[in-house]
Amino acid sequence: MRILVLKTGDYGQRHIDNLKKHCPDHWSVNSWQTPRSLPIVLDYPEDYLPETFQPADLILSLAELPGAAEMIPDIAKMSGAKAVIAPIDNQAWLPYGLARQLIGWLERDSIPCVTPMPFCSLTETHFNALRLKETYHEASIQEFARYFGRPAFDVKIDSLSKTIEQVDVVRDACCGCAHFTAG
């Protein structure tokens, strides 16, 4: 799977570093640095985009400004992406209303988009969205969620002492907190 990550700063870079460290060997993870500032409304998003993007199956938006969401439909077309994950970890970066608009814009091009709130609520079948569970059915998002999303652990406990002997990460959060906690 080819993943294109949109990032603005350190938040996105931490996720990218963890993805590259723990993703399956058959994945490729590329990133694009969004502009650090954008106008409130982008009349012409293409003015802020490069001429081309590497081909991608999935876009992961970790951008830290709302205007970046307005560029995602164009980026999806340019990269050939078939699905988008746009987490709402901070509503200043992706307000809920803009997330709903983004889903609608992408639906017009038959591109599924999930907006987990928070990102680590993503599973292979559903995600949280304003305290509600939403389901989805898209293969590349499901593959991503198999490895990154709601953390899952395999914990071995000593039966006599009732202490933890070993913790293995079954599924990490994209930010790497599961591996950090298990370590």
* Alpha carbon distance 90, 64 (integer Å): 8
pLDDT of the residue at 98: 94
Element of type H or E holding 165:
strand 164-171
* Alpha carbon distance 101, 118 (integer Å): 18
pLDDT of the residue at 61: 98
pTM of the model: 0.93
Partnered with residue 169 across adjacent β-strands are: 153
pLDDT of the residue at 131: 67
The answer to whether 64 and 90 have CB atoms below 8 angstroms apart is yes
pLDDT of the residue at 155: 95
**Where do the domains of the chain lie?**
2-147
pLDDT of the residue at 183: 78
Q: Which CATH architecture has domain 2-147?
A: 3-Layer(aba) Sandwich (3.40)
Could you give the count of Cα atoms lying within 13 Å of 4 in the half-sphere of its Cβ? 22
Question: CB within 8 A of 132, min separation 6: which ones?
Answer: none
Q: Which residue has the tokens 């080819």?
A: 2
For 122, other C-beta atoms within 10 Å of its C-beta total 27
The answer to whether 103 and 132 have CB atoms below 8 angstroms apart is no
Low-confidence ranges of the chain (pLDDT < 70): 131
* Alpha carbon distance 116, 22 (integer Å): 21
**Nearest partner of 65 among 85, 38, 44, 86, judged by Cα:** 38
